Chain A
């Protein structure tokens, strides 16, 4: 490993965390650098990076399985691209790769959150809004405008509103069967293979906090991650009877720790008197009375080993279930429900809701963002065209809600007459749009063309909105933008509109279909030219 002296090619302010030599990328030898915010690779003998990825852009890393001839590490980006590095130094290749992997493993999660949030947000918006999604396809995927431009004035609009709804986000629970789901597979030679995903690891950590603590203590100082999990699965802790844990087992402490936790919970006592079995009985019989033979001195010495292990299993299941159910009950809920007055509980207990006149049942409804996804499971994005009746009902109620709280900001709108005259002027047949025909198109053209036309309209509308929003051009930024938007419009005309026109020509339909669109574009061009003329005049 080398030190900072060769880092002239990186900007000096960057801190280099790891340098690995003899790493091949696309059959070219080079050096891999891990810096504070990005990973970069430069070919041998050149003083610039040909590959450079911000950590935030990296979705995950993959490594080649042990025992493969080539020792490789692949980075998969959020965009779906991937870059593969081949560690070619024969003697230390494996070590190099693992060092890189470990470091990345620590670095990536830090950046992940930030990147993920934004991505998720965008993803969510696209999923929720089919029109936007279509627009995105029309404009970004076909490279009319770049993704940044597309998102530029959308995210800000929504982020506020969304962060509000984010506040009461529902936490994802833990599946009760997550341990059962880790099915070991035999690898053919007397071994077992466990496939662990991050989800499972997360579940284990949340269910058994002591294991998490152990992990933090031991990985990576004392053992590698793999070793840790190997030991975990070998330990009695994971397996049934925890009583026979040997001393060499690092998890023996966990068992004790859990026991302690359980005990302390028990000694704290149960706050809900309705389920406190100890205080149910009002006046217990004194010692010595009664027919029930008291289990006299049932010490552990008395019990057989089998009985002991049986009760250990029962304990383990209860503990597991308690931890799982605790893991998805936020602490404050536990606390508040502890202090819910006993009176309320009594009231609940004596209610007969059907005897009462109006039975206002209080239920806690599952807060589903997308109920259809809940009932159908995840579905590909394309099938978002339909809307369920629930959606419609929801949206109506949302609109009603919005309308109720709607307050026109009268200072910022133009008068209604002006607005309507502007719309008529811009509609086909209006003052500005003289050329276009006035036939209704829905009888004349097939539906697929109609829908395509619709998409073109929305796309053009979006672009034009961007364009017109630049006026009056008051800042250099807007100037730049307006120029860009104009070129975008032209691009749109060339890439989208022209092919469409040719297509309808081929189908012998009237080209006047797109007349209005072209007029709108033309209006924009005219405006642009007028603006440019004026600017030139001013400059000269």
Chain B
């Protein structure tokens, strides 16, 4: 249908629309008009992606000079492909409507592993191997050697692309990863480099967060993207952690040992080259005197390393004299390395700020701040000069140089923690230096600064005000949309007590309590008897899950659950878990039976952040306990302190916020769409408190009545039974029409528009 969104003609590729989609597009349009940033929360399963795409594409078509590009960031490869697939659908609709040829170019970009078509390289299984192998075939000096010596292997796809493909623009169309590969095969061009060069003139780019947030990659891939772009971060509930991860470094003794060997290799190579080809080093020296401006000239294939947030002044300045010659630099690195080794030789925990660290290093080994800042750039130049083929080997020294640059660049927002051993095993010495970023805004700042509109959206972003605070930006629109429902298809219940009235909680003091474990088991058992399809059960941590499962086994609870459902338990081995998931998928498609219980650990689950598989199983989702992070961790403590000092966010507020967003993520999986239905069971009495409850997304909170707080297991079963029976009645489209599903005519009616205006709430 064709919609009129605030004066903009939007083609929407479906015959019906949800009211909240309309409302979402309205808000989005306002954000784009204001050229500002936005935070939008809309429940999963209400067609967020297609609303986003429809509106932004329409906007691009209407105002091609205002918005030139859409950069859509998602988290996982399947998600990326899903987005492109929806885009295809939208574009098909456009061509059908206008009967004009599509002149849009949209493409997905992923790592080499997912795009390589070189027969040998693409058969490698791990991303790192693929990258390394690719580099050894496409680096500029390898290709130069190939010119003189044809027996040197190169990648013919890259050669072909470089010779022909660079000048020819890829024809307009929607390219998913597989389409790119097909196109590459047809032409004999490398799809990865084709995609990388094409994103500059594509109208829509879909790739993962890291290409924008991780400065090491962003510098390489996204540097030249137009300023007038709209950036969308989908599934952005974890965006702060992605930012932090991309800027944090851990150094162990093993890293240092490997770095040591790297330094030795460098030294040997330098002395060898000095004998054979001293001119080369001379040339490099000359270049360094001239400054680093040539960094831009570096060819895209030479991905030795890119600098984590290169401050602009570095690029203008010349590399300081103390590290300008190759030998001096290696000596400098050696000294730095020795210093780090000495720091790791401690017996107590040390925590210090970056200025403290710099002061200490100056006092102990006379290393100045300035050369440290140039460390990463200098190493990059050296590695290129020495023509080292396998950069994967030099990951340790690269890491150290990144650390050096980061630690000398930022005074604030970072902390250094040196731990001599792990807390769990105080007898085993395993010193680690955590260089931990505490301020997610550092990594995302360039994104907000550079692009005209940045949209942060997810199904669970509550409480909405916290994201602008921790990411340090000023949004023009902040809105949360509820799900309009013709029937209440979600049923959140908070179970606080067992049938024996013992409180159920995963509070640290009582979590190992026998009664708590038994009650948790009884809850799962009772639910397994009444829920017709699958149940997904989440635990707060892997170890806790293991313990509970073991004691359930001893008490015979698992045996009884097995009578009702098959049980799959997540293991720490991702491969094994995906195997189990796959077997299950097959079973579902083959028999239409979905009687499974998936037992998962919450933290692990989130770190994998996979969405699709769980869909099919979750008729009921049970969250055992409140998924707090491990609060004893020093890194976390430091971060909490920083948040309190810098952003005035109290520790408890942040911890609760973090726990509740994880919980909301888990239960959010229960509902796939409006025709779906699911039970959401929070099994901890603490959920009933206002401070926890209030942090759940609005669309869940709405259905949480006072009658469903602090229930016993029996009451839960009764309520659940009742709900499931009601929901199992046939549900037709007619029931939804006019309420939660609208035709074009209904949408245009006056009172409906009024109702829609109420859906969005800031």
Contacts and interface: CB of A to CB of B under 8 A. Distances in A.
Contact of A325 (B248, B566, B610): B566
Interface string A69-87: 0000000000000000000
B431 to A, nearest CB: 11
Nearest to B731: A354
B591 A364 contact: yes
A333 B76 contact: no
B508 interface: no
Interface string B149-174: 00000000000000000000000000
Nearest to A278: B574
Interface in B224-266: 241, 244-246, 248-252, 255
B80 interface: yes
Given A280-B608, A293-B250, A346 B613 contact: no
Given A275-B581, A363-B592, A314 B178 contact: no
Interface stretch (B14-22, B343-351, B745-753): B14-22
Contacts of B675: 353-354
A325 B587 contact: yes
B127 A292 contact: no
B81 interface: yes
Interface string A254-298: 000000001001110111111111111111111111111111110
Contacts of B105: none
A291 B578 contact: no
B571 interface: yes
A253 B600 CA distance: 30
Contact of B246 (A273, A289, A297, A311): A289
Question: Contact size class for A?
Answer: 35 or more
A356 interface: yes
B466 to A, nearest CB: 19
A355 B741 contact: yes
A354 B208 contact: no
Contacts of A282: 76-77, 80, 110-111, 114, 207-208, 210
B14 A356 contact: yes
Given A286-B395, A310-B549, A321-B567, A273 B77 contact: yes
A284 B242 CA distance: 11
A403 interface: no
B410 to A, nearest CB: 16
Contact of A276 (B16, B110, B578): B578
A414 B8 CA distance: 76
A378 interface: no
Nearest to B636: A291
A289 B436 CA distance: 9
A198 B389 CA distance: 65
Nearest to B569: A314
Interface in A291-321: 291-297, 302, 306-307, 309-311, 313-315, 317-318, 321
B85 interface: yes
B81 A275 contact: no
A349 to B, nearest CB: 5
A181 B579 CA distance: 27
B21 to A, nearest CB: 9
A265 B565 contact: no
Nearest to B207: A282
A349 B16 contact: no
Contacts of A349: 78, 82, 85, 612
A176 B584 CA distance: 14
B73 to A, nearest CB: 10
A337 B571 contact: no
A177 B736 contact: no
A283 B220 CA distance: 14
A322 B250 contact: no
B490 to A, nearest CB: 16
A266 B395 contact: no
A413 interface: no
Majority secondary structure of chain B interface residues (helix, strand, loop or mixed): helix
Contacts of A278: 574-575, 578
B214 interface: yes
B673 A354 contact: yes
Most B CB within 10 A of own CB, among A290, A307, A342, A365: A290
A321 B568 contact: yes
A269 B574 CA distance: 11
Interface in A350-365: 350, 352-357, 359, 363-365
A343 B251 CA distance: 42
B47 interface: yes
A328 interface: yes
A108 interface: no
Contacts of B217: 283
Contacts of B583: 322, 325-326
Contact of B566 (A302, A324, A334, A338): A324
Contacts of A181: 563
Question: Contact size class for B?
Answer: 35 or more
B423 to A, nearest CB: 10
A366 interface: yes
A240 interface: yes
A64 interface: no
A309 B578 contact: no
Contacts of B610: 275, 277, 280
A259 to B, nearest CB: 11
Contact of B592 (A177, A275, A364): A364
B85 A302 contact: no
A311 B208 CA distance: 34
Contact of A289 (B18, B250, B571, B609): B250
A273 B79 CA distance: 11
Nearest to A353: B675
A329 interface: yes
B111 A283 contact: yes
B302 interface: no
B78 A280 contact: yes
Given A265-B579, A314-B569, A289 B249 contact: yes
Interface stretch (B314-322, B553-561, B663-671, B679-687): B553-561
A309 B566 CA distance: 21
B484 to A, nearest CB: 12
A337 B586 contact: yes
B197 interface: no
A289 B248 contact: yes
A275 B582 contact: yes
B562 interface: yes
Most B CB within 10 A of own CB, among A272, A279, A288, A346: A288
A288 B249 contact: yes
A189 interface: no
Nearest to B392: A286
Contacts of B586: 325, 329, 333-334, 337-338
Nearest to B248: A291
A5 interface: no
Nearest to B547: A310
Interface string B446-481: 000000000000000000000000000000000000
B432 A177 contact: no
Given A273-B77, A296-B252, A329-B590, A354 B16 contact: yes
Contacts of B741: 354-355
14 contacts: A173-B593, A266-B576, A274-B585, A281-B77, A282-B76, A282-B208, A287-B399, A288-B251, A289-B250, A291-B434, A307-B546, A329-B590, A353-B673, A355-B14
Interface of A: 173, 175-177, 179-181, 240, 262, 265-267, 269-297, 302, 306-307, 309-311, 313-315, 317-318, 321-322, 324-326, 328-330, 333-334, 337-338, 342-343, 346-347, 349-350, 352-357, 359, 363-366
The 10 nearest A-B residue pairs measured at CB: A282-B208, A177-B563, A355-B14, A180-B559, A290-B245, A321-B566, A277-B574, A364-B592, A357-B15, A280-B76
Given A288-B250, A291-B250, A355-B18, 14 more contacts: A173-B591, A240-B553, A266-B575, A267-B575, A276-B582, A277-B574, A277-B575, A281-B608, A293-B422, A306-B550, A314-B546, A321-B580, A330-B590, A352-B14
